[in-house]
Amino acid sequence: MLQPRLSIVSLSVVVLSACVVAPYPYQAAYYSGAGPAGSVVVVADTPPPAPYVEVVPAIPYAGAVWLGGYWGWNGGRHQWVPGRWEQPRPGYSWRPYAWTQHGGHWQLNAGGWVRH
């Protein structure tokens, strides 16, 4: 009677030892002062994931401009910020948010309206 129980316990230990639940690791990042127009510059040790393919909803009004989504930074990890429709600004064009690599680190360059 002891032999079957011991076998079940041993098998359970072996099978369950492969089940490890670990939280998503915190990714190192720092904020390097103010960027253009007072925006905070984020520098991370890990690159952002591939962009999502967004389904652009119907244009809400004539002349609206679609601002595509991007990977932002929040709570120690990359977080997708969805795109949105916005009123265009005469004399300006939209520069999207973008991650660039600098010496093994990744910097989030803030998007915004840029004068022509």
74 SS3 class: strand
Does residue 10 lie in a domain region?
no
10 SS3 class: helix
Residues across the chain: 116
Rounded Cα distance, 48 and 53, in Å:
15
Tell me the sheet residues that pair with 34: 40
Contact between 79 and 73 under an 8 Å Cβ cutoff? The reply is yes
Contact residues for 40 (Cβ-Cβ < 8 A; gap 6+): 31, 33, 34
pTM of the entire predicted model: 0.66
Does residue 43 lie in a domain region?
yes
Sequential pLDDT tens for the chain (116 residues): 556 554 554 444 433 333 333 334 445 555 555 555 555 678 999 999 998 899 999 999 999 999 999 999 998 899 999 999 999 999 999 999 999 999 889 999 999 999 99
Rounded Cα distance, 74 and 64, in Å:
28
The number of distinct structural domains making up the chain is 1
Does residue 54 lie in a domain region?
no
Q: In terms of residue numbers, what domain contains 116?
A: 27-47+90-116
